[in-house]
C-alpha cells in the first residue's frame, strides 16, 4: 500500500493521559499536514511540515498539542493531558510541491476517544 498510513486507527484513553499518533506519508511527498475532524464538521487544519521543518503551528489547538517530523519522513502528533473535548478523528495528509498548493492525499485517520 503506497498511500498515507496512520497508526493506530483507534485509540481510547483516559482523561489526563498522553497520546501519540503516527503518520507515514506517501514516500515522495515533502509536505505533511495534520487535521482534526469532529462529527458534522469538515477537517480543521492544525499544522504542517515541509520536509522536517514545521512551517505552521499557530493553528494547533493548545500548547498540549505538538507535532514532529524528525527526519522529514514520518510524523507524530502528541496530545498531552488529554481532555474529553479532544475526542475526534485526527487526519494526516501529504502532498508534493513547492510554495504553490497541490492536491493532498489523506490517510484513514486515527479516531481518539477520551473517557
Residues that bind other proteins (CB under 8 A): 4, 33, 35, 40-48, 55-56, 58-59, 89, 91, 100-109
**Peptide bond before residue 88 is cis, with ω within 30 degrees of 0:** no
Contacts for 2-5 with beta carbons within 8 Å, 24 or more apart? 2/26, 2/27, 3/105, 3/107, 4/92, 4/93, 4/94, 4/105, 4/106, 4/107, 4/108, 5/107, 5/108
Compute the least distance from the CB of residue 80 to other proteins, in Å.
22
Residue closer to other proteins (CB basis): 14 or 98: 98
Using the minimum distance from each CB to other proteins, give the nearer residue, 9 or 81.
Answer: 9
Question: Nearest distance from residue 79's CB to other proteins, in Å?
Answer: 18
Minimal distance, residue 109 CB to other proteins, in Å? 5
C-beta of 18 vs 109, nearer to other proteins: 109
Locus of grid cell 492544525: 46
Amino acid at each position: 500500500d503506497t498511500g498515507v498510513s496512520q497508526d493506530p486507527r483507534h485509540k481510547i484513553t483516559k482523561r489526563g493521559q498522553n497520546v501519540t499518533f503516527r503518520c507515514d506519508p506517501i514516500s515522495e511527498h515533502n509536505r505533511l499536514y495534520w487535521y482534526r475532524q469532529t462529527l458534522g464538521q469538515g477537517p480543521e487544519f492544525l499544522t504542517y511540515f515541509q520536509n522536517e521543518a514545521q512551517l505552521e503551528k499557530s493553528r494547533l489547538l493548545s500548547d498540549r498539542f505538538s507535532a514532529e517530523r524528525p527526519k522529514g519522513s514520518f510524523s507524530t502528533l502528541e496530545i498531552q493531558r488529554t481532555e474529553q473535548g479532544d475526542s475526534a478523528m485526527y487526519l494526516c495528509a501529504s502532498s508534493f510541491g513547492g510554495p504553490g498548493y497541490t492536491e493532498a492525499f489523506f490517510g484513514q485517520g486515527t479516531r481518539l476517544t477520551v473517557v
